[in-house]
Amino acid sequence: MKKTLLVLAGPTAVGKTSCGINIARHFNTEIISADSRQIYRETTIGTAVPSPDELALARHHFIQVIPIKEPYNASMFEYQVLEKLEQLFEKHDMLLMVGGSGLYIDAVCHGIDDLPTVDPALRKQLLERFENEGLEPLTRELKELDPASYSQVDLKNHMRVLKALEVSIQTGKPYSSFLSAEKKKRPFNILRIALDMERELLYDRINNRVEVMMDAGLLDEVKQLQHLRGFTAMKTVGYRELFTYLDGEVSLDEAVDLIQRNTRKFARKQLTWFRKENRYQWFSPGDTVEMLRWIEKSAGYL
């Protein structure tokens, strides 16, 4: 029987960790974490890293293994995970990949384009232009340098615009010329399931999770990481809002409200990403029996 990689995706706070552990224990297998934030070594509370008790229930890989100061991207994740899968498939017929980072999941499932490394000085220069001039001048420049990317990229997402622009400027070639629609073939089957629930319930879970993080010491964690705030890993939800509080720009209550609001927005983006991929089979987190039955049938166990 061909080896199978089971992907378990979904928005933040939907219950992927506990669901993934249940599935891994049922199939006596191991978990690859596909979370672009939990991979960093120094962060714990703000990235909702599984607790020691949870990690003890099933073996996890790619959690807290990369220093924040070390450059890391989806292409590197693809290479390292494929290498790890080859090792783990020697003793398992099925492996589980759990996470909410759609780009990381897609990199493993069907590959990612090998983009040139961008000069940090150029990246800093463009970011300063964005902060001083706003996004519109940058989108106009992108339209001139790479009309194809301009017509496809989310022009309201400054990170996507800056990425396309920095590659176009550095290489002298359109960013779009480096992108390939060809998907790489993998030597294993891939099954995809995703979790979702009623929107109001998900939002309540998100709001509650933020409060639990604060009670667990998120503010202290952020204070200890202030010296790293210039790195990309620190510009994410939960950290950037508390940095603004420490800078005296907002009150603590306002910062917590911003974390909750931005996390809800992030969850909506995750759902949009996964719903674009029509290969996912969707379940409620509580549908464990139905989920396991579908996996066993789809993987050829029944």
pLDDT at 181: 58
Long-range pairs for 202-209 at CB < 8 Å and ≥24 separation?
Answer: 202/11, 202/13, 202/14, 202/267, 203/264, 203/267, 205/13, 205/14, 205/15, 206/12, 206/13, 206/260, 206/263, 206/264, 206/267, 207/260, 207/264, 209/12, 209/13, 209/48, 209/263
pLDDT, tens digit only, all 302 positions of the chain: 689 999 999 999 999 999 999 999 999 999 999 999 999 999 999 999 999 999 999 999 999 999 999 988 888 999 999 999 999 999 999 999 999 999 999 999 998 877 777 788 888 899 899 999 999 999 999 999 999 989 888 888 888 899 899 999 988 989 888 776 567 899 999 999 999 999 999 999 999 999 999 999 999 999 999 999 988 889 899 999 999 999 999 999 999 999 999 999 999 999 999 998 889 999 999 999 999 999 999 998 86
Q: Please give the pLDDT value at position 251.
A: 98
The confidence score (pLDDT) of residue 298 equals 95
User: Where do the domains of the chain lie?
Assistant: 4-113+182-298, 120-178
- pLDDT (0 to 100) of residue 299: 92
Helix (H, G, I), strand (E, B) or coil at 112: coil
Predicted pLDDT at 26: 97
The answer to whether 4-113+182-298 and 120-178 have equal CATH topology is: no
Rg (CA), the chain: 20
pLDDT of residue 302: 61
What lies within 8 Å, CB to CB, of 126 at 6+ separation is 138, 162, 165, 166, 169
Read off the pTM: 0.83
Of all helices (H) and strands (E), which one includes residue 32?
strand 31-33
| Nearest one of 162, 144, 164, 140 to 152, comparing CA atoms | 164
d(CA 57, CA 62): 16
Q: How far apart are alpha carbons 108 and 90 in whole angstroms? A: 18
Residue matched to tokens 């589980």? 96
Torsion of Cα atoms, 74 then 80 then 82 then 88, to 10°: -140
Is 3.40.50.920 the CATH classification of the domain at 4-113+182-298? no
At the topology level, CATH places domain 120-178 in Histone, subunit A (1.10.20)
